[in-house]
Structure 1
Amino acid sequence: VWESEHMKYVLIGKGVAPLKAAITALDKAAFKGFYSFEWEKLWHPEIEEPELALASYPTAITELR
């Protein structure tokens, strides 16, 4: 999410990236691989704790499908 002139990192599914469209395109292409999840708390100490981000990931992906 853009906040003024800076990007603000948010939990998956809470931002503006077209994740639903990306997942739909992968499904249409019969993608059989894995989705990966990266949460760079070390480089961005202001973001949510990894325990929260990782715990919310499965639900967010399910809701995007």
Structure 2
Amino acid sequence: VHTGERPFACAHCPKTFKDKMALTVHQSIHTEERPFACTHCPKAFKDRRTLTDHLRIH
């Protein structure tokens, strides 16, 4: 059933989310953490998709 409920709230901004994973992904925008590092250069990224896109240049 689709209730429109968004029980997961960001502690840093007014955004809310329907599931915990979406909240976790969102919260990375509020930190400097970049856990996805390129193995070919010093660049690092906040999400795997951006790293994957970056790897195409090598």
Instruction: Tell me the TM-score range normalised by the shorter chain.
Output: under 0.3
Q: TM-score normalized by structure 2?
A: 0.27
Instruction: Report the structure number with the largest CA radius of gyration.
Output: 2
Structure with greater contact order relative to length (CA < 8 Å, sep ≥ 6): 1
